[in-house]
């Protein structure tokens, strides 16, 4: 089959293209901005890329057009597809029908931590010898790629030894029986039914406004957390809760829901009805993590019973919660907690998650994907925890590009200043924002400044930075290559 992917350079659609190519399909694609790293990854796999959405791409005569949610009505190629009545399908639906069907899907949903938790879960299954396929909204360092087809065709999946056999019922929640024996379905074999996917609540396509995750039919699902986001498509938190409830409705009675027991919004979703066993983390009855020591150790327990210890380089309580969710989900797939704990000790995180891009004359520059106020505050707290172990005088210079659609709409602007409060200096890039961030950042006083020119922003940061400082750059986009520009400017200034 020949598929032509519209919007191919997004992480999700690029992942679909890579998986389709690995499955033996002929794949081509187009996007408005064909640029690295996705462009180079796809070209290396033999995927032909076309800049723009010109209607003459119909001459490629694919069997089906796979449409990304970046494509809107008025797009020249899409309009021609519609006018000619040619076959098209959304990315999530194509994935569900051609890759996920017949597999044991483990889906990771939530406002924050999806990418990291999905990477953790995929790595745990890999470490256990289960050889999963995966599609992740970032590049896990352990794999070096964001998407992979499982090593074998789909095979029928049998219930896990821990799954409840009681019939589904309306409005209640059932707990999964204990204990789980080591090993489990597929462990150590050469065929793998498992596919781990980052389950995004963003809409599917211009012609399908349901959340992407309703297409995936997961057998195991993680609900990490739930806050208001994506103000461009959701009117309020209640609208997002409805979509999460739809996801819960798709999980079979023989499956498992792993949910953050400390999140009242998720508890409200589950109270609407859950027909699947539920395990909670961050709750008294469920999975818990002890305090993390200075050398990265913390204990893990389940229902008060010690499960072992993790030792790793990651920071922050949020990553401990991500780990608990991944351990619980992997356990449902048959991976003993001891094996999962061992795997997490070798987990190398995901690119753009407090990723150190370089150090020049004592000034460290980090890249992070944080763009929601909660994620911004969590990221700063994580960095603060790290540097305080080295010096209590080290400063954090936070650099924010409020680039997400929610930020551009100004819906969460009153939460920006509180989220940045723990930084020592704040630099905001206001170009293209659509509203003036001056009032929003006013509570930060003189430690915050706003720039609308990227060059001036880089100069200001370089002038403010001192040896021993940590510059934390946060954006959900490329931010005009500001990381390399800053490192170059620091080197020039100090040279």
Counts of helices then strands in the chain (DSSP H, E) = 15, 23
Does the residue 162 lie in any domain? no
CB-based contact 338:124 (threshold 8 Å): no
Rounded CA-CA distance 488/495 in Å is: 10
SS3 375: helix
Does the residue 320 lie in any domain? yes
pLDDT at 152: 64
Same domain, 441 and 467: yes
CATH of the domain at 314: 3.40.1190.10
237-249 and 264-271 helices, crossing angle to 10°: 50
Same domain, 115 and 90: no
pTM attached to this predicted model: 0.78
Does the residue 169 lie in any domain? no
pLDDT at 154: 59
Q: What is the DSSP string of 51-62?
A: ES--GGGGGG--
Rounded CA-CA distance 125/342 in Å is: 11
481 DSSP 8-state letter: G
Same domain, 391 and 481: yes
How many residues would you count in the chain?
A: 495
Strand 26-31 and strand 2-6: the pairing is: parallel
Q: Which of 278, 313, 344 is the last residue of a domain?
A: 344
Range of the domain at 52: 2-97
Does the residue 349 lie in any domain? no
Rounded CA-CA distance 218/222 in Å is: 10
pLDDT at 177: 34
Rounded CA-CA distance 66/189 in Å is: 33
CATH of the domain at 370: 3.90.190.20
Same domain, 86 and 110: no
Same domain, 107 and 92: no
pLDDT at 35: 66
Same domain, 251 and 362: no
Same domain, 38 and 84: yes
Same domain, 197 and 339: yes
Token match 């999946």: residue? 157
Does the residue 178 lie in any domain? no
pLDDT at 45: 86
Rounded CA-CA distance 324/370 in Å is: 21
pLDDT at 155: 52
337-344 and 114-127 helices, crossing angle to 10°: 110
pLDDT at 98: 94
CB-based contact 375:404 (threshold 8 Å): no
Judged by phi (left if over 0) then psi (alpha if -120 to 50, else beta), residue 46 lies in: left
Domain count, the chain: 3
Same domain, 291 and 428: no
pLDDT values of the chain reduced to their tens digit, one per residue, 495 residues: 999 999 998 889 999 999 999 999 999 999 997 766 677 778 888 899 999 999 999 999 999 999 999 999 999 999 999 999 999 999 999 999 999 999 999 999 998 888 999 999 999 999 999 999 999 988 888 888 889 998 765 554 444 444 432 333 333 333 333 333 333 433 333 456 999 999 988 899 999 999 999 999 999 999 998 987 776 778 888 999 999 999 999 999 999 999 999 999 999 999 999 999 999 998 878 999 998 887 889 999 999 999 999 999 887 788 899 999 999 999 999 999 999 999 999 998 777 777 888 899 889 999 987 778 888 888 888 888 877 766 667 899 999 988 777 677 777 788 889 989 999 999 999 887 878 888 889 999 999 999 999 999 999 999 999 999 999 998 877 788 888 899 988 888 654
CATH of the domain at 17: 3.40.50.720
Alpha helices in 85-148 (DSSP H): 91-95, 114-127
CB-based contact 127:343 (threshold 8 Å): yes
Q: Which of 344, 372, 398 is the last residue of a domain?
A: 344
SS3 256: strand
Does the residue 160 lie in any domain? no
Token match 């351990």: residue? 327
Same domain, 436 and 312: no
pLDDT at 104: 96
SS3 289: strand
Q: Which of 344, 378, 401 is the last residue of a domain?
A: 344
Does the residue 273 lie in any domain? yes
CB-based contact 52:183 (threshold 8 Å): no
Same domain, 229 and 326: yes
Same domain, 317 and 398: no
> Any idea what the Cα angle at residue 352 is, between residues 351 and 354, rounded to 5°?
110
313 DSSP 8-state letter: S
454-464 and 482-494 helices, crossing angle to 10°: 50
239 Cβ neighbours under 8 A, 6+ residues apart: none
CA distances in angstroms from 374 to 6, 160, 313, 378, 415, listed in the order given: 32, 35, 22, 6, 9
Q: What is the DSSP string of 272-289?
A: T---SBEEEESSSSSEEE
Rounded CA-CA distance 90/136 in Å is: 18
Does the residue 339 lie in any domain? yes
């Amino acid at each position: 089959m020949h598929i032509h992917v519209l919007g191919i350079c997004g992480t999700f659609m690029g992942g679909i293209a890579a998986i389709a190519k690995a499955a033996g399909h002929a794949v081509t694609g187009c996007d408005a901005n064909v640029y690295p790293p996705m462009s180079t990854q796809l070209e290396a796999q033999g995927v032909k890329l076309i800049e723009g959405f010109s209607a003459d791409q119909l001459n490629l005569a694919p069997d089906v057009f796979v449409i990304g949610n970046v494509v809107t009505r008025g797009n020249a190629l899409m309009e021609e597809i519609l006018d000619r009545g040619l076959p098209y399908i959304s990315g999530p639906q194509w994935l569900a029908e051609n890759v996920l069907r017949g597999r044991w899907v483990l889906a990771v949903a939530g406002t924050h931590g999806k990418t990291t938790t999905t990477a953790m879960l995929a790595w745990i299954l890999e470490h256990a010898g289960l050889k999963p396929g995966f599609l992740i909204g970032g590049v896990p360092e352990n794999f070096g790629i964001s998407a992979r087809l499982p090593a074998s065709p789909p095979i029928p999946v049998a219930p896990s030894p821990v799954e409840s056999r009681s019939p589904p019922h309306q409005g209640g929640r059932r707990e999964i029986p204990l204990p789980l024996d080591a090993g489990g379905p597929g462990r150590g074999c050469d065929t793998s039914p498992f596919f781990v996917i980052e389950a995004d609540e963003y809409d599917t396509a211009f012609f399908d406004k349901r959340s992407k995750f309703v297409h995936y039919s997961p057998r195991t699902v993680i609900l990490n957390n739930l806050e208001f986001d994506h103000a461009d498509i959701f009117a309020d938190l209640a609208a997002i809760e409805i979509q999460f409830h739809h996801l819960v409705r798709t999980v079979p009675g023989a499956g498992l829901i792993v949910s953050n027991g400390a999140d009242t919004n998720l508890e409200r979703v589950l109270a609407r009805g859950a027909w699947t066993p539920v395990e909670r983390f961050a709750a008294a009855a469920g999975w818990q993590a002890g305090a993390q020591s200075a050398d990265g150790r913390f204990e893990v327990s389940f229902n008060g019973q010690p499960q072992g210890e993790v030792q790793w380089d990651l920071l922050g309580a949020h990553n401990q919660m991500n780990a608990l969710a991944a351990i619980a989900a992997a356990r449902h797939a048959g991976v003993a907690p001891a094996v999962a704990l061992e795997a997490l000790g070798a987990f190398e995180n995901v690119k753009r998650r407090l990723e150190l891009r370089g150090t020049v004359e004592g000034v460290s520059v980090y890249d992070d994907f944080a763009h929601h106020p909660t994620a911004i505050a969590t990221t700063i707290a994580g960095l603060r925890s790290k540097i305080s172990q080295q010096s209590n005088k080290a400063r954090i210079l936070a650099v924010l590009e409020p680039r997400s659609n929610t930020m551009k709409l100004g819906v969460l602007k009153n939460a920006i200043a509180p989220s940045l409060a723990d930084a020592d200096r704040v630099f905001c890039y206001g170009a293209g924002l659509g509203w003036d961030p001056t009032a929003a950042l006013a509570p930060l006083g003189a430690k915050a400044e706003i720039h609308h020119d990227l060059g001036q922003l880089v100069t200001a940061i370089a002038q403010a930075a001192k040896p021993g400082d940590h510059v934390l750059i946060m954006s959900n986009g490329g931010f005009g290559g500001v990381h390399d520009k800053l490192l170059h400017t620091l080197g020039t200034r100090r040279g």
